[in-house]
Structure 1
Amino acid sequence: MNILVIGTGYVGTTTALVFAELGWNVTGLDTDAQKIQQLEKGVLYFYEPGLEELLKKHLSSGQIRFTTNKEKAIQDHEIIFICVGTPSRPDGSADMRYVKQVAEDIGQTMNGYKLVITKSTVPVGTQEQVTLWIQAAQKGSYPFDVASNPEFLREGKALTDALNPDRVIIGSNSKKAANLLQTLYQSAKCPVVVTTPRTAELIKYASNAFLATKISYMNELARLCDQLGVNIKEVANGIGLDPRIGPSFLHAGIGYGGSCFPKDVSALILAAKQNNIELSILEKVVYVNQTQHLYLLEKARERLKSFANKKIAVLGLAFKPDTDDIREAPALRIIESLLKEQANVYVYDPVAKLPADLHYGSVTASNELEEAVKDADAVFLCTEWPIFRNVDWAKMKSIMNQPNMFDGRNVLDSREMNSNGYFYHGIGYE
């Protein structure tokens, strides 16, 4: 079977490359000609370990190709994945304009049976809406099915997750569509759950919201640990040994970010309100996440008295390691707060960069960690990149103005930092 993936962003490119790796012939379609040109040259325009190598491999093998010709692409493929963006609107709802445009393009262009699969994260009821959009745009009477197949990719681990999924969710009211999708995933060594489209759509939102809840719970608990003189890492280890809880997403820090959790939690809360249901736990999850960085800033403020005219180094911009994604990154909230208090901010991240359109004024982007730390009055560690664990912090102390370390990810060993002469504060009695 030949597969068309519409939208060559993070999810679309990963999806296309993984299906190519599984042996299917894949075409990636996008309206962004520059993006397509880069992919055709074997250049991945975002950072994700392992993907660029896979891109070059399958360009060479002929398993994958890219195009901007939507009419030909849609007509030449029976199986079509929708992988376009669904960004948040100001009210928290998902912006569905790109999904609608793709659905209309399919309806106007289709020349025979099509299986249209929504992989983008979308509100419950989208499968029904996509069906209506395609029907309204059709110029002929061609049969089609619309199914839901949400992705569960972790940025930084997308290739591993896609090749070794922990589950495959298929939402379809059509036995034919479900069977075709099961054929695509026939090599998957994991449970394949076939359910209704609405259930599949909600599973995606509910999964991310639950993980976000675990994070905010531990972050709020870490504040109590500080007051009680209890180490949050030991608490996390102790409760994570309970198989009903598990050890993942129990690491306290300065909050979650990225393109999924903030957007998906907000969309689920809004969907509940539109149906006269209050998700008060999730509302608190969002509140904790939005204020968690302020907790660490307050600890730093107590130590420094004032940030004004102080040099502050911020290490890590990406919301997590192994990605260059800075969307909703807690580091940005830290930087904004420091600038409001007239600090001189120097930032360093091994991969992620501050885009020019963010206009952070006096922020200095450092090419080397030492440049950011030199003469600093304090360091905020905001992303748990492995290289930060391996820094010779005893040496770094000698070039700092004041050896103050505020570890927003509990990356470093508090006892070692203290023995090296640092004032060290993590999240939750470090």
Structure 2
Amino acid sequence: MNIAMIGAGYVGLVSGACLADFGHRVTCFDVDEQKIASLRRAEIPIFEPGLDRVVAENVTAGRLFFTHHLAEAVADADVVFIAVGTPSRRGDGFADLTFVYAAARMIAQSLSGFTVVATKSTVPIGTGDEVDRILREENPGADVAVASNPEFLREGSAIEDFKRPDRIVIGAEDDRTRELLAEVYRPLYLNDAPLVFTTRRTAELIKYAANAFLAMKITFINEIADLCERTGANVQEVARGIGLDGRIGPKFLNAGPGFGGSCFPKDTLAFAKIGQDFEAPLRLVETTIAVNDQRKRAMARKVVAACGGDVRGKRIAVLGLTFKPNTDDMRESPSIVIVQALLDAGAEVVGYDPAGIEAARSVLPPIDYADTAYKAAEEADCLVIVTEWNEFRSLDLEQLSRLMRGPVFVDLRNIYRRHEVERFGFSYFSVGRPNGAE
């Protein structure tokens, strides 16, 4: 099949590369000519494990192409996916659909033959209706159908998620559209990946509801962690005890400094606004947003308390700046709030991240950066693990103890056991675990 991907950002690039890997002919379009030129040279603008290999192999095989001429991508396409950004709109937090609607207007001028236009971007309920209206207004004679096909990719494991999905959601209003999109994903559902067919509006709602529910799970266990610290319970044992219940499940029950990234913060905010617009307030979602915002600042207070209540003039080494491991994405990362709060308290901060330092420079206030965890720890009074990169799970604690000036070790991801750290002279602080717990 011929497929056009409008938007060569994170979702568009991953989806386009994987669809090409299935054997389809995919052309990715983006208005950023420099990005297209880089992609043609097999230079990947984002950090995503395995993506460079999939892109290079499919470009070489003649299945994956990049262009900044939209007509070149759309003219012969059976399916056109819209995968452009829907950032939070300034002022009210609603999803900004400017790029989606602009894409629809451009697509309309280049349609030929029966074409399905499917939104992969996360969009509010009813967006597909407006895309359909725009297409028919701009090109009344077009044989076109509009569908919703939301993505469920996790940064850091997006290739695996696309190729082995839990489900494929297709929101369409007619059989012809459903059959065409089912053919796009035929290599997957032959391997038992369930195809979930719904109406277009239902598919749009599924995406928001899924992200909001996962965000609530994270926020719930973080609140339980606070209760554990005050009662002497252990949040990791609580999480295991409830996660073994098949109705709950173990995923997204790791206590930490709060959620960030490109999806959960903006999608929960947009979802709350959708509820308000339809006079069906989503109180749990609204509370999730508020609690998560407060959580990040609270983690900075935890670091200050671990340092005896005062960090003025102290050097704090922050390990992990991105919102999660295996990405260079700094959007809404807890580290942003934590670092700013520590600076506000008078601390000197040095940061290290395996992939996110360049991105961090553009969003963090001025701090020092190190090129290894050990360089960051030199003469530090306190070390803080904010993001659980694998390389932080096996730090040479003896070496750290020699390098650091102070003995404070704050583990905001609970990746160490107390005895492992304290035997090297550290004062160890974690999240939701009593002082004597491992």
Q: Under TM normalisation by the shorter chain, which class is it? A: over 0.9
Cα distance in 2 between the residues matched to 1:22 and 1:414: 47
Per-residue deviation, 1:342: 2.1
Cα distance in 2 between the residues matched to 1:69 and 1:295: 48
In the other structure, the counterpart of 1:394 is 398
In the other structure, the counterpart of 1:309 is 313
Identity percentage over the alignment? 41
String of CA shifts for 1:199-247, please: whole Å, max 9, x gaps. 0000000000000000000000000100111111111111111111111
Question: Which deviates more, 301-310 or 36-45?
Answer: 301-310
- After superposition, residues 33-112 of structure 1 pair within 5 angstroms as 33-90=33-90, 91-112=92-113
String of CA shifts for 1:289-325, please: whole Å, max 9, x gaps. 1111233322322232222211111100111111111
Question: 1:347 aligned to 351, 360, 364, which one?
Answer: 351
In the other structure, the counterpart of 2:138 is 137
Is this contact kept in 2: 1:296–1:406, CA < 8 A?
no
Aligned residues: 428
In the other structure, the counterpart of 1:183 is 183
Per-residue deviation, 1:408: 1.2
Is this contact kept in 2: 1:82–1:119, CA < 8 A?
yes
The one-letter amino acid of 1:323's match is T
Question: Which deviates more, 121-130 or 66-75?
Answer: 66-75
Per-residue deviation, 1:26: 0.7
Query: Does residue 329 of structure 1 match 2:333?
Result: yes
Structure 1: segments with no counterpart, 5+ residues: none
Per-residue deviation, 1:119: 0.5
Query: Does residue 296 of structure 1 match 2:273?
Result: no
Cα distance in 2 between the residues matched to 1:292 and 1:204: 25
Cα distance in 2 between the residues matched to 1:342 and 1:101: 46
Cα distance in 2 between the residues matched to 1:45 and 1:145: 32
Is this contact kept in 1: 2:7–2:28, CA < 8 A?
yes
Per-residue deviation, 1:283: 1.4
Is this contact kept in 2: 1:381–1:407, CA < 8 A?
yes
Three-state SS of the structure 2 residue aligned to 1:42 is coil
**TM-score normalised by length of structure 2:** 0.95
Cα distance in 1 between the residues matched to 2:418 and 2:297: 21
String of CA shifts for 1:174-213, please: whole Å, max 9, x gaps. 2101100011111222111111000000000000000000
Cα distance in 2 between the residues matched to 1:73 and 1:47: 25
Is this contact kept in 1: 2:86–2:96, CA < 8 A?
yes
- After superposition, residues 221-260 of structure 1 pair within 5 angstroms as 221-260=224-263
Is this contact kept in 2: 1:6–1:28, CA < 8 A?
yes
Query: Does residue 122 of structure 1 match 2:99?
Result: no
Cα distance in 2 between the residues matched to 1:71 and 1:21: 23
Q: State the Cα RMSD in Å.
A: 1.2
The one-letter amino acid of 1:283's match is E
Per-residue deviation, 1:359: 5.9
Superposition misfits of 4+ residues, deviation over 3 angstroms? 354-357
Cα distance in 1 between the residues matched to 2:281 and 2:143: 39
The one-letter amino acid of 1:366's match is A
In the other structure, the counterpart of 1:358 is 363
- After superposition, residues 268-283 of structure 1 pair within 5 angstroms as 268-283=271-286
Query: Does residue 216 of structure 1 match 2:216?
Result: no
Structure 2: segments with no counterpart, 5+ residues: none
Is this contact kept in 1: 2:136–2:142, CA < 8 A?
no
